[in-house]
Amino acid sequence: MRVLIVEDQVILADDIADGLRDQGMAADVAYDGASGLEKALLNRYDVVVLDRDLPKIHGDAICAALAGVSSEARILMLTASGTVGDRVEGLNLGADDYLVKPFAFAELVARLRALGRRSPATPPVVVKDDLVFDRARRRVSRGGRPVSLNRKEMGVLEVLLAADGSVVSAEELLERVWDENADPFTHTVTVTLARLRRKLGEPDLIETVVGSGYRLP
């Protein structure tokens, strides 16, 4: 899962991003509304964590803009105000969920995972032949045998499963599983795929499409 945090409190934004990375998510950060909107339109995110009271461009305007372009990203709006009117207004603008500051980090993670599971193309439990990926519990098994994957390996597998047989390029895997700080010239994706293949065992589930990318046929 790739998340964008748009929050002008720099320490809070960085703490959230670091915490989400520890949870296995790719996290990018924007500290004002203008850069937040630019990143949200430029990159593909699963969820945008959007502070409402932002400099340069207000969070409400960003929310409405993303809804207007039919962005695939779910929007979790943050605010210091917990009134019913504010929550209703934010949801009417296109937000998918609402969280009042201060909040417990565990609740934020739970809400993000719930939003990430809302897409009909990615149900909570994905089955491919004898491979079972429980997205809700973050567990993988093959042939009834538990498979221990690290966060990036699980992220790559999740993207390949969501593609439903379509080819996913190495560049797209880098974009979806890692964050904007990832070096596009490294062999990170290749190394991660090699480990994933080894852990999943034989027969190999992942097909390499020369010159194009990878898929789970």
DSSP secondary-structure letter at 204?
P
136-169: b or e for each residue (b if 16 or more CB lie within 10 Å)?
eeeebebeeeebebeebbbbbbbbbbbbeeebbe
**Which of 116, 141, 172 represents a domain boundary (last residue)?**
116
The residue from 75, 95, 116 where one domain ends is 116
Per-residue confidence in pLDDT tens, the chain, 217 aa: 889 999 999 999 999 999 999 888 889 999 999 999 999 998 889 999 999 999 999 999 999 898 888 778 999 999 887 677 777 777 788 899 999 999 999 999 999 988 987 754 456 678 888 999 987 778 899 998 999 999 899 989 988 998 888 999 988 898 888 877 777 667 889 999 999 999 999 999 999 999 899 999 8
In the chain, how many domains are there? 2
CATH number at residue 71: 3.40.50.2300
Residues 114-122: contacts with CB within 8 Å, 24+ apart?
115/46, 115/47, 115/74, 115/76, 116/1, 116/46, 116/47, 116/74, 118/74, 119/72, 119/162, 121/162, 121/164, 122/158, 122/161, 122/162
Prediction pTM value: 0.69
My answer on whether 60 and 156 are in the same domain is no
Q: Is 37 found in the same domain as 137?
A: no
Distance CA 179, CA 39 (A): 12
Write out the residue range of the structural domain in which residue 104 sits.
Answer: 2-116
Residue where a domain stops, chosen among 91, 116, 141: 116
Are 12 and 83 part of one and the same domain? Answer: yes
Tell me, yes or no, whether 141 and 93 share the same domain: no
Are 85 and 129 in a shared domain? no
Instruction: Calculate the alpha carbon distances from 95 to 33, 60, 131, 169, 174 in Å.
Output: 16, 9, 34, 30, 27
